[in-house]
Chains A and B, each alone.
Chain A
Amino acid sequence: MRFNKPKNALEGQARPLPDMSESATEPLVVCNKCKKALTLDELEHNLHVCPYCRNHFMINARQRIHLIADAGSFVEFDQELQPTNILGFPDYDKKLEVAHLQSAENDSVVSGECTIEGRGAVLFVMDPYFMMGSMGSIAGEKITRAFERATVAGLPVIGFTASGGARMQEGVVSLMQMAKTSGAVRKHSDAGNLFVSVLTDPTTGGVTASFAMEADIILAEPYALIGFAGPRVIEQTIRKKLPAGFQRAEFQLEHGFLDDIVGRKRQRPYLAQLLEMHHRERGQA
């Protein structure tokens, strides 16, 4: 795999230092859904899925690519693109620097071309560890270019979303990325190509209101929060507590906005089968 960066940059930092004393206990994390304590090793071996309640923990973009793409097949696009503080927004430069340190990424989207069980696809992945996966001009540009390349090459696009929405620090320029990416999705679609989105926790705001919901096939990970407005904003607006399970993947499936919920372990063969079923010879109309 063409990694210029550590695969687990964030985890490398978040992991507590090993205690060398005899009484050392294994580092524990608590599942935010079932509240059971899990060891990090246990979690890692289970693809960051809680073995008790199937809660899917957030993972970074490189881990995601590692799980989905055939080993060594991922060739990254536009890695050099770097965000700038286009509006001179207070503290944005500092936030970008921290996000870069936390995620080892330049922005919230990693895109490229790969094979999945031998079938070619353009893959883009949002990284929730880079400013909550928020979409600014670099994320919008990378996704747009990914669709444009896929359209030229006649390739399907697989997109994993994780985002708090449009990035406030880039103002209306981020809002416009919703229109820009939607235009690229539309052109890719009009050329007869397949787009599959996989919505992961959390997918909200401007990302839900653009490419996440524009795919031919929309999938989600179990229990992922998926919505337009975030639950806190809704609670403030309606001055009521929201019911349990509101805006979770299961709720969205029930309301007709998802095609299927697919657990992390099943995703690779599932996507490979979809690619197989939509396979077109190059140049075929």
Chain B
Amino acid sequence: MTAYEKVAAARARHRFTSLDLMGEVFSGFIEMHGDRRFADDKAIVAGLAWLDETPVTVIGIEKGHTVKERSMRNFGSAHPEGYRKALRQMKLAEKFGRPVVCFIDTSGAYCGIGAEERGQGQAIAENLTEMMALKTPVISVIIGEGGSGGALALAVADEVWMLENSIYSVISPEGCASILWKDSTKAKEASECLKLTAEDLYGLGVIDAIIPETKELGPDLKSRLVAAIAKYGSLPRDVLCEDRYQKFRRIGAGS
């Protein structure tokens, strides 16, 4: 598949969403709402669930399926309150020693007046510093679109995985094309330049695993999560955080 075919696959209407995958991987999901500051952002779902016999905190950016759902979910573009809700759940996970699993599927954090008024940049920034120091294992999986800062705000993790047909990019191919060539229809060319596929990013050392999209995706993802959580859960908390820092520290201009 070309990079642009991957972009199309990651965005496809019929593609599974975070809630679909969560249903296959976890059991007994209880959704917890709200950021205790402003509102409950429906673009992000968060709560508690069982991973086998381990209680975990799960957070997912949800796009929805039907027109009504997609509109209610703001097409998976979160406002600051969504990132603050996620952070609140992560801090609770830390308090109770629960691992955190994030499913990411967003074209980006929402760009709008309210989002700016309530500090979209500050909300994302706070997640980055807090996740970097979160004293519990965090695994993030890009399941569809990994759109820039809005995706990274849930992807400062001990391991970052990408599904085979997902993408992770600093800017949308359309945005890139309109800046580069003043022509947003050249998104196909831009997709190649941006190196946004799972293979590209694995090659660049940005992600830790590519998950094949087979029929066994749910069970496969589950067994991988069980193994990763056992691995990172056994580390002393200060080692866990230092390793997480070093993992990102190495990317770009390696010292």
Residues of A at under 8 Å CB distance from B?
Answer: 81, 86-87, 89-91, 136-138, 140-141, 144-145, 166-168, 170-180, 182-187, 189-190, 204-206, 208-214, 226-229, 233-234, 237-238, 242, 246-247, 255-257
Query: Which residue of chain B has the shortest Cβ distance to A205 in the bound complex?
Result: B149
B253 and A138 within 8 A (CB): yes
Contacts A172-B201, A174-B170, A179-B248 given; does A229 touch B116 at CB 8 Å: yes
Contact of B129 among A137, A138, A182 (CB under 8 A): A182
A180–B175 Cα gap in the complex (Å)? 24
Is B128 among interface residues, defined by CB-CB distance under 8 A?
Answer: yes
Chain B 95-131: CB-based contact to A (< 8 A → 1; otherwise 0): 0000000000000010111011111111011101100
Q: Bound complex: CA of A212 vs CA of B125, how far in Å?
A: 8
Q: List 27 A-B contacts (CB under 8 A).
A: A86-B204, A87-B193, A136-B252, A145-B255, A166-B149, A168-B180, A170-B170, A170-B252, A172-B196, A176-B206, A177-B251, A179-B156, A180-B251, A183-B244, A183-B248, A185-B129, A186-B133, A187-B245, A190-B133, A210-B124, A213-B125, A214-B125, A228-B115, A229-B115, A234-B116, A238-B111, A256-B119
Interchain CA distance A172-B244 in the complex, whole Å? 18
* Chain B interface residues (CB < 8 Å from chain A): 109, 111-113, 115-122, 124-126, 128-129, 132-133, 148-149, 152-153, 155-156, 168-171, 175-176, 179-180, 193-196, 201, 204, 206, 244-245, 248-249, 251-253, 255
Q: Which residues of A sit under 8 angstroms from B113, Cβ to Cβ?
A: 234, 238, 242, 246
Instruction: Assess the A141–B253 pair: CB atoms within 8 A.
Output: yes
Closest residue on chain B to residue A145 by CB atoms: B255
Please tell me if the beta carbons of A166 and B120 are within 8 angstroms of each other in the complex: no
CA–CA, A184 to B248, complex, Å?
Answer: 10
Nearest residue (CB) in A for B112 is A238
Q: How far is the CA of A91 from the CA of B115 in the complex (A)?
A: 34
A186–B129 touching, CB < 8 Å: yes
Q: Which of A138, A168, A257 has the most CB of B within 10 A?
A: A168
> Do the beta carbons of B195 and A137 come within 8 Å of each other?
no
Can you name the residue of chain B whose Cβ is closest to the Cβ of A181?
A: B128
> Chain A residues near B125 (CB, 8 Å)?
182, 208-214
Q: How far is the CA of A133 from the CA of B232 in the complex (A)?
A: 37
Assembled-state Cα–Cα distance A234/B120 (Å): 13
Name the one of A145, A177, A242 contacting B252, with C-beta atoms under 8 angstroms: A177
Closest to B242 in A: A187
CB neighbours (8 Å) of A173 from chain B are 204, 206, 251-252
Contact residue among B149, B152, B155 (Cβ-Cβ distance under 8 Å from A228)? B149
> Least Cβ distance of B48 to chain A in Å?
26
The 8 closest A-B CB pairs, nearest first, are A137-B252, A208-B121, A141-B253, A229-B111, A182-B128, A228-B121, A228-B120, A213-B125
Alpha-carbon gap, A234 to B114, bound state (A) = 11
Q: Which residues on the B side are within 8 Å of A86 (C-beta)?
A: 204, 252
- Residues of chain B lying within 8 A (CB to CB) of residue A229: 111-112, 115-116, 120
Give the residues in chain A near B175, CB-CB below 8 Å. 233
List chain B residues, Cβ under 8 A from A206. 148-149, 170
Q: How far is the CB of A209 from chain B (nearest CB, A)?
A: 4
A226 to B122, CA, bound (A): 11
